[in-house]
Structure 1
């Protein structure tokens, strides 16, 4: 989510009663996870994607990544759900305006979760309860998301917990955490989902566990990846999920499975290319050539995400020599140089956004070697290659192009 959990707050030393059949792991996504989303591990069974939201109860914003994230979740045989950013909605009229806008746009199946992300701004318990009832009346499963301290300080959470299941977040630190630490469980009634980390994997990703089986809602019993109803995104995902690997063609979008070990040529597959979308350039027998990594992979080691580049509003754009567009729609220009900070401190982040997780805080005199720059989110960012194959990003100019340092 966009906020950060209050570290160490609300400690509770007893683990909740989690039945094995209900203990599915999953993730939640915003625009930062791109058009395809990003799973952490092969064990993940669900994803909850942000459709958009409001910061004032009257104007709305959409996340362009939402339809394709739903599609790609279904394409991988996993369960897709939805959440709405909910800030400064203090009247029923505002709640109605927000839901009048978003309910017709929901791409997950009827019965699936539609959560209100309540973690910032002014709140009104009655308006939230009104919204939960509207979500339920529309045929979805209402859920309240947030951090226990914020929710108890800004709402009557006991009352809301009687209206809908809760999805609460709490984590002790930002170390990579693939399983829950129940010493930091935010004890409360009617918790359906526990978000136990924002660093499920290196680089950042929210990790969740289903405590009650609520993420099965919207999917046929005994067929967890079979939606009860279909939307355009769900249909596109089902087409991809049901397409045989023997029918893969150039132009399809695929991912390399987490379990894959070696390319078809024998070299080990780096972990950072697994689970990511790759366009198929060529097909040869039981192998495919993937465009961005220019490597041959066995069909048995991949999964189809989309049967063509345009499915579910996804369009993967090829990299050119000096300029390319990433899967967040940001256009980057190649430039190898060094940036030296003179107007610090500045935040080095995992993404090119002021809301992305911070890697480190750098003071004056610090130098960043970068390989590309882009104008996005009101700033000019540069991209720093890192030793683990990932990237760091830092704002080097403001919206008026005033630099925070020097270049060489």
Structure 2
């Protein structure tokens, strides 16, 4: 979603959540964390933490002139989320102003795709954060008509915006009166994806069901993610008892996800077919093309051939933390040769020599490096309020050392519960 500065709420106007604002949300057992995705996160559903429970993927959008666009990543993101045992939902970018006809048309345009992808009862959120004028009554009528179209189609309507924009352009009292607890609110007290959500900065408002509290959670390969907390359990809609493996209805995409999960569990190899790419195979098996390339010793530009047998599963073992014998390490995004050397108590020159690397500044993600030496077993667990500079002072090491040793690209972005080696 948009990453405008105005979207981050000033801390001075943020208040701690009141019981009237989120109703039963004070019960921790109904709360869950998840992400929302667009094409910028790629085909594979991304999450900040392993125990995140849901994602909301963009199917497309419509503008005030009636033009629309689709997100080619939508069905793959939903399928990938389901394969990871996460609940999947939908959002539409709705920039149709006070035009009720276009607002309803936007929903109807994407319903065929949604109907074949996610279960009935799941969320269809309307992302209304730009393109609305001063006609508050007209804007509200249009959005309510769109939400009613969502409801009549058998889904859960949700309204998304950030607090200031919502109250400046819509009659939020009418929206919440018509669809109680349907406000997905955006407000970022911090730039990073801190966990848990900093509820002392909750942007208190009526009818809030989900709070998007960060636009800088970190996914695979440091992909920036919107991070959300479901306060009322609304993301369980469409899934029996909130179980991602038990959608209330089935769709072709849901069925594909089930079949592919079974294939992954049962299959260790795949025979390449005409038209396959390493990336498309990776998406099918819920992995990455880098992992497949590493597992099958396929070098860039990753050419594969029909009838070639690709290993899907294999020994993904990396360096043992107590071994001083030669073993292997798989390069991750953000790694440097010197950073890897620090992890294993050796020098980048030794690693370069051991692996025949002529240019120590050039290593690539997925590359397997032979390493020697002990891995440091000293570790520090990040707690609420920690900063990398504060931790470095506690441990008597430099910020750059901690960042390099732990593959941290942004020294201002660490997460509660994260383990840092030093």
- In the TM superposition, residue 235 of structure 1 has moved relative to its aligned partner by 1.6
Distance 1:289 1:389, change over 3 A: farther
Pick from 105, 116, 123: which aligns with 2:126? Answer: 116
2:217 maps to which residue? 200
- In the TM superposition, residue 59 of structure 1 has moved relative to its aligned partner by 1.2
2:354 maps to which residue? none
CA distance in 1, matches of 2:8, 2:291: 43
1 or 2, which has the higher strand percentage? 1
CA distance in 2, matches of 1:207, 1:152: 22
1:41 aligns with 2:49: yes
1:21 maps to which residue? 29
1 or 2, which has the higher helix percentage? 2
Question: TM-score, normalised on structure 2?
Answer: 0.61
1:169-184 alignment to 2 at 5 Å?
A: 169-184=186-201
Pick from 220, 227, 231: which aligns with 1:211? Answer: 231
1:247 aligns with 2:267: yes
1:52 maps to which residue? 60
1:30 maps to which residue? 38
2:141 maps to which residue? 126
CA distance in 2, matches of 1:255, 1:200: 25
1:83 maps to which residue? 91
1:237 aligns with 2:257: yes
Pick from 196, 202, 226: which aligns with 2:246? Answer: 226
CA distance in 2, matches of 1:239, 1:205: 28
- In the TM superposition, residue 255 of structure 1 has moved relative to its aligned partner by 10
CA distance in 1, matches of 2:93, 2:36: 13
Tell me the matched-pair count: 285
Deviations 1:195-230 (A, max 9, x none): 110111255211111111111111112633321222
1:162 maps to which residue? 177
- In the TM superposition, residue 120 of structure 1 has moved relative to its aligned partner by 0.5
- In the TM superposition, residue 109 of structure 1 has moved relative to its aligned partner by 1.0
CA distance in 1, matches of 2:35, 2:92: 15
CA distance in 2, matches of 1:44, 1:127: 33
Deviations 1:294-332 (A, max 9, x none): 99975799xxxxxxxxxxxxxxxxxxxxxxxxxxxxxxx
Query: Partner of 1:44: helix, strand, or coil?
Result: coil
Contact 1:55–1:88 (CA under 8 A) maintained in structure 2: yes
Question: TM-score, normalised on structure 1?
Answer: 0.63
The runs of at least 4 consecutive aligned structure 1 residues that moved more than 4 Å come to 279-283, 288-301, 387-391
CA distance in 2, matches of 1:223, 1:87: 33
Distance 1:299 1:241, change over 3 A: farther
Query: Partner of 2:111: helix, strand, or coil?
Result: helix
CA distance in 2, matches of 1:224, 1:157: 31
- Which 5+ residue runs of structure 1 have no aligned equivalent? 257-274, 302-335, 337-386, 392-408
1:145 maps to which residue? 160
Distance 1:204 1:89, change over 3 A: same
RMSD: 3.2
Bigger mean CA deviation after superposition, 135-144 or 193-202: 193-202
CA distance in 2, matches of 1:196, 1:53: 23
Distance 1:246 1:147, change over 3 A: same
1:2 maps to which residue? 2
Query: Partner of 2:145: helix, strand, or coil?
Result: helix
Deviations 1:283-302 (A, max 9, x none): 9xxxx54857999975799x
Contact 1:278–1:292 (CA under 8 A) maintained in structure 2: no
Distance 1:73 1:2, change over 3 A: same
